[in-house]
Each structure stands twice: as C-alpha cells, then as structure tokens.
C-alpha cells in the first residue's frame, strides 16, 4: 500500500484505497485488504465518481483543511462511506430525498459517527441550512435537471466563502439533445451567476459516462 498526497488515501497498483473506519465491514461489496495490521477498502471508480475524479487527475487537495462537509445525493452511501474514512474528525451532512435510499444511509451512520444523514430535498436548502451551518466542502451528485442551480443555492446557503466544491454534472439529465459542451457552458454560467469561481472540468470517462466533475471555490 503506497501513500498518496492526501494522508488517508492510498494506492495499491492502479487502485485507490481508504483506511477502513469499521474494520471487517464492507459497505457495497468492495474488496478489503489488510497490511501491517491495518485494513483498507478498495475505492471503486466505477461505483464512486469521486474515486473516478481522483484517478482522472483531480487534486486530493480538495480534502485539505476540511472540517465539515455537505453532501447532496447520498444514495446508499457508497461514496459517503469513503469520505467518512478519509475525514474522520469532520461531520459529513448527507442530504438524500428518497426514503428507500435513506434507510441504508441511516444504517451506515449508526456505525460511522461522522455521518449525519438528513432526509430532505436538496432543492430546499432553507429546510436544513440551520442544522448544517457553514461547511468547507460541498459535494453534489443528484442527477437532476436543475443541477447547477441546486449547487449554487446550497453554496450560498452553507459554503464557507473560502470553501471548495465539486459538482458531478450528469449531462444527460439536463438535455438528451444538446451537446455536452453547450450543457457544460450553461452550467458554468449558472455557477458563476451564484458567485462561484469555477475550475477546469474533468471528464469521468471511462469510469462514468456522460459525467463531468466541475470543481468550484466559494
Ligand atoms: C447518482 S445517485 C448518488 C450516488 C452517490 N453520490 C454515490 O456516489 O454513492 C443520486 C442520488 O441523488 C438523490 N437525489 C436526486 N435528487 C435529489 C434531491 N433533489 N435532493 C436530494 N437527493 C436527491 C437520488 O435519490 C439518488 O439517491
């Protein structure tokens, strides 16, 4: 197991791993690997867009000095569980609107103290902003038509002005007919209108088709 630039992310061959905060427990059937008494979980880039982003060159400095996270679209907690591994001291507020997905997320949070799931619609940040407070990292993966607007509104409600964000943009949820370039250009305009600075987007192929990761700063 080789260390990477971020202390709690590791590499083994081509794969990324995080140190398992709940040894012996798998979250989504991922491989576990034990070395020198420490257990690591393989971070599958085909299941987690955040792992894909890092493998495609996204900087792990994204996690530096992060004391709290707002995660929109937690689903069953695949990516959330790895964030939980790598930010042990940081509360991670996870918004999920589907009760079916929320149940396993809630179960996961019973074993992982830094996970704070909230059953809510990310289109209504006013419903949870007071509980969440100000966060250093905003992450969104909701595959909705209004993805950029949702991100901007949550950033305005909860993101520290010196914080960072990552929007996993699903092009085909926004338009089936327009080119990816025009969809991304429009999303960038919407994010800029929310007062965010936008970095170069990263295409997540071949791990995740039709998805681009758009990094922003507050
Ligand atoms: C692609 S999945 C997320 C996968 C997850 N981020 C991961 O990597 O493990 C999208 C999730 O967003 C949720 N979602 C969609 N629209 C939402 C909204 N407006 N508010 C909250 N959650 C939403 C869906 O219910 C679904 O669970």
Lining ligand 1 with CB less than 6 A are: 48-49, 72-73, 75, 78-79, 95-98, 101, 121-123, 141-144
Q: How far is the CA of 141 from the centre of ligand 1 (A)?
A: 6
The ligand 1 atom at the shortest distance from the C-alpha of residue 73 is: 12
**Taking a C-beta distance cutoff of 8 angstroms, is the pair 137, 163 a contact?**
yes
Averaged pLDDT, 77-85: 98
pTM (two decimals): 0.97
pLDDT score of 174 more than 90: no
Q: At CA 117, angle to CA 137 and CA 10, rounded to 5? A: 50
CA of 67 to the centre of ligand 1 (A): 23
Residue 189 structure tokens: 């305009």
Average pLDDT of the residues of the chain: 96
**45-217: CATH architecture:** 3-Layer(aba) Sandwich (3.40)
**Does residue 4 carry a pLDDT above 80?**
yes
Phi-psi domain of 152 (left: phi exceeds 0; alpha: psi -120 through 50; beta: other): alpha
Q: How many residues does the chain have?
A: 218
With H, G, I as helix, E, B as strand and everything else as coil, classify residue 18. Answer: strand
Report the DSSP beta bridge partners of residue 96: 119
* Residue linked to tokens 């890092």: 54
Q: Using most ligand atoms within 8 A of CB, pick from 28, 41, 50, 75 the residue to mutate for ligand 1.
A: 75
Question: Following CA atoms 78, 218, 151, 50 in sequence, which dihedral angle do they give, to the nearest 10 degrees?
Answer: -20
Condensed to tens digits (0 to 9), the pLDDT of residues 52-77 reads 999 999 999 999 999 999 999 999 99
The string of pLDDT tens digits covering residues 184-210 is: 999 999 999 999 999 999 999 999 988
């Amino acid at each position: 197991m080789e260390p990477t630039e971020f202390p709690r992310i590791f590499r083994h061959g081509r794969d990324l791993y995080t140190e398992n905060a709940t040894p012996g427990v798998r979250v989504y059937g991922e491989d576990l690997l034990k070395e020198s008494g420490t257990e690591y979980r393989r971070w599958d880039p085909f299941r987690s867009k955040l792992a894909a982003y890092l493998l495609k060159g996204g900087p792990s400095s994204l996690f530096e000095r992060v004391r709290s996270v707002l995660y929109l679209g937690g689903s069953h907690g695949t990516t959330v569980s790895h964030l939980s591994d790598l930010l042990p001291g940081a509360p991670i507020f996870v918004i999920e609107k589907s009760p079916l997905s929320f149940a396993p997320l809630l179960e996961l949070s019973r074993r992982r103290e830094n996970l704070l799931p909230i059953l809510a619609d990310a289109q209504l940040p006013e419903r949870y902003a007071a509980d969440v407070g100000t966060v250093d990292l905003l992450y969104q993966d909701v595959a909705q038509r209004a993805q950029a607007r949702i991100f901007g509104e949550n950033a305005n409600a909860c993101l520290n002005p010196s914080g960072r964000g990552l929007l996993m943009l699903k092009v085909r949820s926004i338009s089936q007919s327009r080119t990816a370039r025009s969809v991304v250009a429009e999303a960038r305009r919407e994010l800029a209108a929310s007062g965010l600075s936008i970095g170069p987007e990263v295409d997540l192929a071949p791990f995740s088709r039709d998805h681009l990761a758009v990094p922003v700063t507050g």
